[in-house]
Structure 1
């Protein structure tokens, strides 16, 4: 893949990253959770991350698919997360 295509791919993914970040922050707010709480919930399922690292990853919308799934699971929003994220893209 050439440099131009790589840049174009990053631009194309930006709306998805932003929608995911908004959704996670919204879900946390609705549940009254802070990043410390999210870190604790993730630790229960075996994923150890600092609140600062989570904040950074969420704000950039940059994390692996497996971390995204773990966050969705510990926030208990697996039934609606994907549909709600996609709605934001329309």
Structure 2
């Protein structure tokens, strides 16, 4: 499985949770600041769009978004979708 597919899966998961809650990147930045994590909105946008961030930031983002539990079946569905598009 391509490394890029994993990154795209991270991006999709975060963007999906942000969309469901109507969060913009500035709101996400503000919420992260409330728990002591300093990330500018532009920096978050770049990291999320590229799907490249540390595990700690990913978990912090998911926590401030009050994200749904990540079902392994949902992750598998995303990865299969990405793989089918890569053919």
Both structures adopt the same fold (TM-score exceeding 0.5) = yes
Higher relative contact order (CA 8 A, sep 6+): 2
Question: Conserved in 2, the CA contact under 8 Å of 1:27 and 1:75?
Answer: yes
Q: 1:81 to 1:47 in 2, by over 3 A?
A: farther
Question: What root-mean-square deviation, in Å, do the aligned CA atoms of Structure 1 and Structure 2 show?
Answer: 1.8
Q: Unaligned stretches of 5+ in structure 1?
A: 1-10
Q: Unaligned stretches of 5+ in structure 2?
A: 81-87
How many residues align? The count is 80
How far apart are the structure 1 equivalents of 2:44 and 2:37? 11
Structure-1-length-normalised TM-score: 0.79
Structure-2-length-normalised TM-score: 0.81
Q: Which runs of 4+ in 1 moved over 6 A?
A: none
